[in-house]
Structure 1
Amino acid sequence: MTTAQDQVNRIIEAYKERTINRVFLVACGGSAALMYPSKYFIDRESTSITAEVYNSNEFIYRNPSTLGAESLVILCSHKGKTPETTNAAKFAKDKGALVVSLMYVPTAPLADESDFIVNYSWAPPGELDSHPEIANYAVLYRLTMGLLAVKEGNDKYEKLVRSLNSMTTVLQKAKAQALEGAKAYAKANKDESVIYTMASGVNYGIAYSFAICILMEMQWKHSHAIHAGEFFHGPFEILDKDVPFILLLGLDETRPMEERALKFLKEHGEKLLVLDAKQFDMSGIDEELKGYLAPLLLNFVLRVYAVELAAATGHPLETRRYMFKVPY
């Protein structure tokens, strides 16, 4: 039986056979949010390869002039059926790029338009994945850290593989630590119509995903993901003591921006949830990788909060008004 790690290994071998100088990370919605940590990693670590995140449809419409035979395009669609992402894969392949797609299911239309696929592991929100070491964020890191290992001799890949073996324990401890706080938060905020989320750097995609996928899509609450660096350039005017904010504090180099936002939120707001990666036990994770892997931890903790919020509101996370129900 072919495993996700086998699939990743084949892709890493394929890296060796071609020149790659640009990475395009392409998806929609929550799958697009997955891409931000890997872009951050490449931005920080690579000396010769650039990375960009694109919405699938805009990737086609914008038609980057740098897309070509020396490009790696990584796409993701949970069930491999997102039409925009399937079209983006075909578009990239027609341009001569190496096309790698991630999906939860073994086969789908997206697979038909890709050179390689990886079938990642998945668990419902708030539940412990039996294989977090091959969940979607982990697979994306394997692909991007593996690329830099092959092309530039970056030493993070082997450290990643070792660190991911500790992720089950890390998440188990995090859930036990977060659960009571999640229940209390849900009870206190179940009737709020607006909840803003904020983060920066490697964790921004997590805040974005929680805003658009959990709060807007799955709870029908107004939300917006605010970049901590942009907070003081307009969004902070919305803050008062009655406006709820969720702030993520990561372990990467942009943490000072989040801490600056935290200071202001404490001074001028009251309805504040702070999830700080420093407060959780990341034993077994390589020190050099804790900043990069904090999103996997914080995303899981946020999903624990999501489950409790859905229970408190009586609005199941699976309930939809339009998605999969009407033409769009």
Structure 2
Amino acid sequence: MNIEHQEQIQKVLIALKGMTVKNFFFVGCGGSKAALGPGDYFVDREVGLPSKVYTSNEFIHLSPKTLDENSVVITRSHSGTTPETVEATKFARSKGALTIAISMDMASPLCQEAEYVIHYNYKDGSDASDGDTGMYWALIFNIINTLSPNEKFDRVLSQLSNLEKLLDVNKKSTYDTAYDFGKRNKREKLIYTMASGAYFDQAYSFTSCLLMEMLWIHSNAIHSGEYFHGPFEMTDYDVPFLMIVGEGASRPLDERALNFAQKFSDKVEVVDVQSLDYLNMDADLREYFGPAIIGAVLRQYADGLAEHTGHPLSVRRYMWKMDY
């Protein structure tokens, strides 16, 4: 993280210290909304203030009654041009909320509307620790440590410099498995994904953005805790599932769902977060880094499907091709 990025985060932290923070809103669309999810999860759990993720247009039309000058609103758009998110940022600011925009383009409409900006260098090929994941983790855990100081979060922040290495090591170790998954599932028209806790948003992103948007494969993101309340009736020997078994408090939910699915389906692919390589990281910090690593790992599963189906991830029917 360079000096510019450190200064951007420090400005946010100074602003937070100068206000009475009562709640958080995380607002975005699609993959950007999903990427915000772990922040909501950890802020809610570690700080103890109300927090919620909204899709941008719903945030505007619902106009939450608790949105005011004591609110922190974090919005995100990769390009910074998503119209709904730009308007959501403008709306939040009109209500007096502290607004933080995350984007790769400082000159974008989103960044122009926000009071504070967190910029990442994905566009120019910077490494992961200086990219979107590293910047977001730095923002979130600096906020958490400012509002609820703990030596554990000091250690999280000190370990962020290892994030690039963590991603690289785990992408290499799961590459063959991911591409084998693509080979075995290249003719599947439907693949369910399942997860819980801080990992559910990764399942949602994999489902909506990679399988449905980019690969045109039918899917649904199933919360492991909700699996037994309807979705498990779809389980059969030839129904494929990709199951993220997480690290942390919600792991028992994943294990229960996995045990059932494996009894009745012959096509359950397991991505076990505990099997990832954390490079001797302290055990009590692993759950904070798992969601970041799993995002990079799941992208390889999509790459494997793209390779074996012959369907490039860049192909679209409607997106960017018409007004909608």
The CA distance in 2 between the partners of 1:154 and 1:43, in whole Å, is 15
1:138 Cα offset (Å)? 3.4
Letter in 2 for 1:4: H
Which position in structure 2 is the counterpart of 1:218? 214
Secondary structure at the aligned position of 1:101 is classed as strand
Letter matched to residue 104 of structure 2: Y
Q: Partner residue of 2:80? A: 80
* Alpha-carbon contact 1:121-1:132 (below 8 Å) kept: no
TM-score w.r.t. length of structure 2? 0.95
What does residue 54 of structure 2 align with?
54
Residue 281 of structure 1, aligned match among 271, 277, 284: 277
In structure 1, C-alpha distance between the alignment counterparts of 2:127 and 2:7, rounded to whole Å: 14
Following superposition, which runs of at least 4 residues in structure 1 exceed 6 angstroms of deviation?
none
**Equivalent residue for 1:109?**
109
Aligned: 1:16 with 2:12 = no
Preserved CA contact (<8 Å) 1:34 1:136: no
Q: Deviations over 1:231-257 (max 9, x none)?
A: 000000111111110000111100000
For residue 313 of structure 2, the aligned residue among 310, 314, 317 is 317
Shift of 1:163: 1.5
Q: Which residue of 2 aligns with 1:231?
A: 227
2:6 aligns to what SS in structure 1?
Answer: helix
Say whether residues 1:294 and 2:290 are aligned partners: yes
**In structure 2, what is the equivalent of residue 34 of structure 1?**
35
Which residue number in structure 2 is paired with residue 207 of structure 1? Answer: 203
Equivalent in the alignment of 2:6: 5
Task: Say which is worse superposed, 267-276 or 103-112, in terms of deviation.
Answer: 103-112
Per-residue deviation at 1:66?
0.4
1:255 equivalenced with 2:255 (yes/no): no
Q: Which amino acid aligns with 1:44?
A: R
| Whole-angstrom distance in 1 between the partners of 2:280 and 2:84 | 39
Distance 2:142 2:168 in 1: 27
Contact 2:134/2:163, CA 8 A, preserved across alignment: no
Measured in 1, the distance between the counterparts of 2:155 and 2:201 equals: 23
Q: Distance in 2 between matches of 1:19 and 1:144?
A: 17
State the SS of the aligned residue for 2:138.
Answer: helix
Distance in 2 of aligned mates of 1:171 and 1:302 = 11
Q: Secondary structure at the match of 1:34?
A: helix
Give me the whole-angstrom Cα distance separating, in 2, the residues matched to 1:123 and 1:261.
38
Q: Distance in 2 between matches of 1:322 and 1:299?
A: 25
Asked if 1:122 is matched to 2:118, the reply is no
Distance apart, 1:147 and its partner CA = 2.1
Q: What does residue 90 of structure 1 align with? A: 90
Q: SS at 2:182's partner residue?
A: helix
- In 2, distance between residues paired with 1:122 and 1:287? 29
Contact persistence 1:25–1:35 (CA under 8 A): yes
Q: What residue ranges of structure 1 are gaps of 5+ in the alignment? A: none
Are the structure 2 counterparts of residues 284 and 169 from structure 1 closer, same or farther at C-alpha, using a change threshold of 3 Å? Answer: farther
Rounded to whole Å, the distance in 1 between the matches of 2:123 and 2:93 is 30
Could you tell me which residue of structure 2 aligns to residue 70 of structure 1?
Answer: 70
Corresponding residue for 1:303?
Answer: 299
Distance 1:2 1:82, change over 3 A: farther
TM-score, normalisation: structure 1 = 0.94
